[in-house]
Amino acid sequence: MSTENAPREKGPVAVVTGGSSGIGAAIARSLARRGWQLVLLARGEERLIEVASEVGAEHEACDVADRAEVERVAKAVRERHPAIGLLVNNAGIPGGGGFLDLDPEQIEAIVRTNYLGSVWCLRTFLPALEAGAPADLVNIASVAGTIAAGYSGPYSASKHAQLAFSRSVGVELAGSGITVHTIIPGFIDTPGFPNRSRFRTRLLQGLVAGPELVAEQVVRAVERNRLEQFVPRWYRPAAIVQATAPALLARAARAGAVRRKRK
């Protein structure tokens, strides 16, 4: 635990996982500007300390894929902050590759971090959320969790699971004073997901947004009680196509895969 980790007289407490860079760091900056007292969690302690110092936050090194570690860290945080007003499940890792070519250990790591990490964090921070009610839970999912196509099957599956978790637990927590919000980003350019480098033309690069846009939508979701939000909004039609015409999307994806193999 950092020697700077002492409770401050500020606004309500927010815990943000994956807070050392990208979307998590952008969320931390946005919440700090609004007076939230922050506790940032992440695996990479060096960068975590930098961001925490920048926004005046507490920090804890934590790998959300490790349930025992999450329980240990959450216990320490709850001792300092028995009541919290917001938990943001943002921690995630990329997973380029398919079910048949990625190492089994990598597939397991993707699932443990992107899906189970959210489950373990909610379960361990739930007493503090209940004590801080009315409180909010924000799960950062992905458009990849609404569409199954291409060669990122394990990552997509982990985000499908996280999306189902977020929607389901929203029902479980109904009437508890804890509101669940699901943010569903499309292509966002971050250190862990350098999406702009994936595209060669400016037109396609224009499809990629910055992490600040996601942070803005997180704040709006909490302040305006929005339960589910695509970022940017125009990604929603892709999810509708997947839900209403899955066979059409599957045929298109398979045809594209065959063409790539023939090249």
Active-site residue flag, 151: no
Residue closest to 154 by CA, chosen among 80, 190, 103: 103
What are the helix (H) ranges across 132-245? 153-172, 202-205, 211-224, 236-244
Give the pair of three-digit tokens for residue 168. Answer: 């389901």
Round to whole Å and give the CA distance between 122 and 59: 18
Q: What percent of the chain has pLDDT over 90?
A: 70
167 Rama class: left (phi>0) / alpha (psi -120 to 50) / beta: alpha
| Burial (0-12, 13-18, 19+ Cβ within 10 Å), 58 | buried
Rounded to two decimals, the pTM is 0.88
pLDDT tens profile 33-86: 999 999 999 999 999 999 999 999 999 999 999 999 999 999 999 999 999 999
Q: Is the pLDDT of residue 3 over 50?
A: no
Amino acid at 44: G
- Enter the CATH code of domain 13-237: 3.40.50.720
pLDDT tens profile 87-118: 999 999 988 899 999 999 999 999 999 999 99
Q: Is the pLDDT of residue 250 over 70?
A: no
Catalytic residue among 115, 151, 155, 235: 155
pLDDT tens profile 190-228: 776 666 666 665 655 567 778 999 999 999 999 999 999
